[in-house]
C-alpha cells in the first residue's frame, strides 16, 4: 500500500544525519490543524543531534528538499517541517489499494508461522455469566481476531473454573436443599440460588463449611457420587454459557479448564523441588521472590493442596509443549496482576526462556453503583439479561422506523448485541467500569449501532447505484475529489492498517473501536455535504469509489471487534 509517511521519510533521510528512515518515520506526526499540513517533522529532537536550533533546522530542510510527485509543498513553521501531500495521488493510491484488498484491507502476513495462545472469558462453572465476564470475553475475542487478521495462528482457550472448594459447597447445598427436578428446571439459576443459600446458612451453621470441605476431598479422591454431581453441574453450565457465546459470536479452540491440570501439577512440584526453588514456610511450600521485590508465590498449602499458581504454572508448561506459542496472553482483571507477576517470575526462575512470552492483559474492575460484583451475595447483572434487553430495544426502534425490514429479528440481534460489545470495548481496557443500564442501552452518539447504521447507509447508496455500485470503481478520476470532507475521509481510511498494528502492539481493542467512530463521522459529513449519485458520470464514479472504500473499512473494523456489519437496518 502507498504509505505517505514512508515516502516522506525516504525524502528526508539523505538530509538528516545520524537517523535512518525508520527513525524518521517514527518521528513524523499529524498536525493538530489540517491547515498546517498532512504530516510534520518536529525538529526539536534533531536540535541535540545537529547542534542547531529547531527553527534553523526546519528552515534549512525546507530549502534543501524539493517537492516531488508525492509532496505538493513543504513549509517551515516554528521548528516544524510541514508537508502537504499531492492530494490527487494520495487519494488515488489509497482508494485503489482498499478496493483491491477488499476484505483483507488492513491485514498483513507479519504473523505468518507464529502462534498466539489467548486465555479469555474463563467463567466459573455453576455461576452466572454476568456483566463482569463480558470484558474478558469481548477483549479476548477481539485480540484473537486482530492477531488472526495479521497472519498469526491463534489458539483461543476458555480456561473454565471447573475445580475448587466451591464445588464442595455446591454439593453440600444440593444435598441439603436441592432436587434433581429443581435443577433441571432452573439450571444455572438454581445452582446459583443453592450457592447463595449455602453462604447464608453457613453464617448460622459453620459446620456446613466442614461438610463442604469433606465433599471436595471426596471429589478429589474420585468418589463416584461427588464426580457425578460435579460433571452434571459442568454440563448444565456449559450448555447455558454456549447460548451466550453464540449470541456474542465468540468461539474457542479449547475448553480445558482447571480440572484438566489435576494430574499435571505433581511433575511441576517435583521440578521445583529438584531445582531447589521450593521452601517451607509455616507448613506451606513457597517459591521465595524476595530478591525480585515480590511476595512469595504459594505452591502448596499446609494441608498439601495446590493453589491457582500451581495450576497456572502447569498450564503454561503444557501450553508451551502443546502449541509452542510465540506469545501466551491472559485476559483477566487488574486485581490479578500481582498473581501473574509472581508465577511469571517462577517460570523464569525455573529456567524457561519463554517466560518473556507470557503476557497479562489486565482490564479495569466492573461494579454496580460502586459495589463489586459477587455471586455469593447475589450481587450480579446477568449478561443474557443485558443482551436480551438490548435486542428488545433495537427491535422496538426498527418497528418504529423500518417495520418492513427483512430479517428484522436477526438485524435487531446483530445491532443489540453489537451495542453491548461496542460499549464494553470503547474505553481503554484498564479503565474501571460502573455498569449502567442507561449507558449500555443508549444507542445515540459514539455507539455500535451508529457505526453499524453508517455501514448500512453506505450499502444503501451502492444498492441505489445498481450495477455501477456493485462494480469495483478503480478507473475513477481522483482529482475530482477535491473537497475537505472527501480528503479527510480518505486520510482517515488510510490510517486503518496503522491503527490495527497499534491495537496489536498495545493489546488494546479500543483503538479499533474509537477509530470506527472516526470513520463513521467522516463518512457522514461527506454523505451530508456531497450528492453521490449525480448526473456527472466521472464525479459519480469517484464518489462511489470512496463509498465502497469506506464500507469495506467499516466492515473489516467491525469484524475485528466482534460485531456484524448489517447491510440494511
* 243 domain residue, yes or no: yes
* 314 domain residue, yes or no: no
Tell me, yes or no, whether 456 and 503 share the same domain. Answer: yes
Tell me, yes or no, whether 371 and 423 share the same domain. Answer: no
- Check residue 222 and report its DSSP letter: T
Q: Of 567 and 372, which is predicted with more confidence?
A: 567
Residue-number span of the structural domain to which 158 is assigned: 115-259+324-377
Give the three-state DSSP class for 152.
coil
Marked catalytic residue, from 70, 130, 345, 349: 130
* 368 domain residue, yes or no: yes
Instruction: Please say which residue of 85, 101, 127 terminates a domain.
Output: 85
**What sign for the dihedral angle of Cα 130, 136, 141, 146?**
positive
pLDDT tens-digit readout, 300-352: 988 888 889 999 999 999 999 999 999 999 999 999 999 999 999 999 999 99
Beta bridge partners of 141: none
Q: Are 447 and 423 in contact (CB under 8 A)?
A: yes
Tell me, yes or no, whether 503 and 456 share the same domain. Answer: yes
Tell me, yes or no, whether 219 and 356 share the same domain. Answer: yes
Instruction: Identify the pLDDT of residue 92.
Output: 95
Marked catalytic residue, from 92, 127, 345, 413: 127
Of 489, 480, 482, which is closest to residue 551 (Cα–Cα)?
A: 489
Tell me, yes or no, whether 156 and 81 share the same domain. Answer: no
Is 455 one of the catalytic residues? no
Instruction: Identify the pLDDT of residue 17.
Output: 75
Q: Give Dmax over CA atoms of the chain in angstroms.
A: 87
Is 339 one of the catalytic residues? no
Tell me, yes or no, whether 359 and 397 share the same domain. Answer: no
Tell me, yes or no, whether 367 and 482 share the same domain. Answer: no
Tell me, yes or no, whether 64 and 130 share the same domain. Answer: no
Q: Are 481 and 532 in contact (CB under 8 A)?
A: no
In this prediction the pTM is 0.93
* 437 domain residue, yes or no: yes
Instruction: Identify the pLDDT of residue 429.
Output: 93
Tell me, yes or no, whether 332 and 195 share the same domain. Answer: yes
Give the three-state DSSP class for 287.
strand
CATH code of 186's domain: 3.40.50.620
How many domains is the chain built from?
3
Is 130 one of the catalytic residues? yes
For residue 376, pLDDT over 60 is answered with no
The whole-angstrom separation of Cα 442 and Cα 453 is 14
Q: Hunting for cell 444498492 — which residue is that? A: 463
Q: Are 156 and 112 in contact (CB under 8 A)?
A: no
* 371 domain residue, yes or no: yes
Tell me, yes or no, whether 469 and 345 share the same domain. Answer: no
Q: CB within 8 A of 511, min separation 6: which ones?
A: 499, 502, 503
CATH code of 505's domain: 1.10.730.10
CATH code of 47's domain: 3.30.1360.70
Give the chain's mean pLDDT: 93
Marked catalytic residue, from 70, 87, 89, 133: 133
pLDDT mean over 394-409: 92
* 155 domain residue, yes or no: yes
Tell me, yes or no, whether 352 and 434 share the same domain. Answer: no
Residue 194: alpha-carbon gap to chain centroid: 34
Tell me, yes or no, whether 547 and 398 share the same domain. Answer: yes
Amino acid at each position: 500500500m502507498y504509505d505517505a509517511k514512508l515516502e516522506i521519510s525516504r525524502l528526508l533521510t539523505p538530509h538528516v544525519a545520524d537517523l535512518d528512515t525508520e527513525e524518521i518515520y517514527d518521528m513524523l506526526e499529524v498536525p493538530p490543524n489540517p491547515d498546517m499540513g498532512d504530516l510534520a517533522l518536529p525538529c526539536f529532537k534533531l536540535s541535540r543531534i545537529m547542534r542547531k536550533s529547531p527553527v534553523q533546522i526546519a528552515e534549512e530542510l525546507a530549502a534543501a528538499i524539493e517537492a516531488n510527485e508525492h509532496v505538493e509543498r513543504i513549509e517551515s513553521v516554528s521548528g516544524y517541517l510541514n508537508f502537504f501531500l499531492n492530494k490527487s495521488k494520495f487519494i488515488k493510491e489509497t482508494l485503489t489499494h482498499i478496493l483491491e484488498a477488499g476484505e483483507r484491507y488492513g491485514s498483513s502476513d507479519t504473523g505468518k508461522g507464529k502462534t498466539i495462545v489467548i486465555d479469555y472469558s474463563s467463567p466459573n462453572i455453576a455461576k452466572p455469566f454476568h456483566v463482569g465476564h463480558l470484558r474478558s470475553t469481548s477483549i479476548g475475542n477481539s485480540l484473537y481476531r486482530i492477531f488472526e487478521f495479521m497472519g498469526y495462528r491463534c489458539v483461543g482457550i476458555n480456561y473454565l473454573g471447573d475445580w475448587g472448594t466451591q464445588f464442595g459447597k455446591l454439593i453440600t447445598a444440593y444435598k441439603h436443599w436441592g432436587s434433581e427436578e429443581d435443577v433441571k428446571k432452573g439450571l444455572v439459576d438454581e445452582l446459583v440460588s443453592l450457592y447463595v443459600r449455602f453462604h447464608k446458612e453457613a453464617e448460622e451453621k459453620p459446620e456446613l463449611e466442614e461438610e463442604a470441605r469433606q465433599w471436595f476431598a471426596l471429589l478429589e479422591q474420585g468418589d463416584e457420587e461427588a464426580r457425578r454431581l460435579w460433571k452434571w453441574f459442568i454440563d448444565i453450565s456449559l450448555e447455558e454459557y454456549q447460548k451466550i457465546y453464540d449470541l456474542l459470536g465468540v468461539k474457542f479452540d479449547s475448553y480445558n479448564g482447571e480440572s484438566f491440570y489435576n494430574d499435571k501439577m505433581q511433575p511441576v512440584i517435583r521440578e521445583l523441588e529438584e531445582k531447589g526453588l521450593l521452601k517451607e514456610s509455616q507448613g506451606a511450600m513457597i517459591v521465595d521472590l524476595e530478591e525480585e521485590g515480590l511476595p512469595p508465590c504459594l505452591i502448596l498449602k499446609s494441608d498439601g493442596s495446590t493453589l491457582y499458581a500451581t495450576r497456572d504454572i502447569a498450564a503454561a508448561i503444557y501450553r508451551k509443549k502443546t502449541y509452542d506459542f510465540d506469545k501466551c496472553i491472559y485476559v483477566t482483571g487488574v486485581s490479578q496482576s500481582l498473581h501473574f507477576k509472581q508465577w511469571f517470575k517462577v517460570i523464569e526462575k525455573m529456567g524457561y526462556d519463554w517466560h518473556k512470552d507470557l503476557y497479562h492483559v489486565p482490564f479495569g474492575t466492573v461494579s454496580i453503583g460502586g459495589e463489586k460484583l459477587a455471586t455469593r451475595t447475589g450481587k450480579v447483572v446477568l449478561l443474557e439479561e443485558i443482551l436480551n434487553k438490548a435486542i428488545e430495544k433495537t427491535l422496538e426502534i426498527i418497528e418504529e422506523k423500518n417495520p418492513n425490514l427483512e430479517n428484522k429479528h436477526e438485524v435487531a440481534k446483530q445491532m443489540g448485541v453489537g451495542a453491548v460489545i461496542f460499549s464494553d470495548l470503547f474505553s481503554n481496557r484498564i479503565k474501571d467500569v460502573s455498569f449502567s443500564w442507561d449507558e449500555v442501552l443508549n444507542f445515540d452518539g459514539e455507539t455500535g449501532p451508529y457505526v453499524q447504521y453508517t455501514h448500512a447507509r453506505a450499502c444503501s447508496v451502492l444498492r441505489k447505484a445498481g450495477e455501477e455500485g456493485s462494480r469495483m470503481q478503480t478507473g475513477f478520476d481522483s482529482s475530482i475529489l477535491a473537497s475537505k470532507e472527501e480528503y479527510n475521509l480518505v486520510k482517515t481510511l488510510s490510517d486503518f492498517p496503522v491503527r490495527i498494528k497499534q491495537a496489536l502492539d498495545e493489546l488494546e481493542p479500543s483503538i479499533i473501536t474509537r477509530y470506527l467512530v472516526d470513520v463513521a463521522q467522516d463518512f457522514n459529513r461527506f454523505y451530508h455535504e456531497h450528492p453521490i449519485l449525480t448526473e456527472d458520470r466521472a464525479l459519480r464514479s469517484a464518489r462511489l469509489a470512496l463509498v465502497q472504500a469506506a464500507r469495506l473499512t467499516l466492515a473489516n473494523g467491525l469484524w475485528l471487534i466482534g460485531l456484524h456489519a448489517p447491510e440494511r437496518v
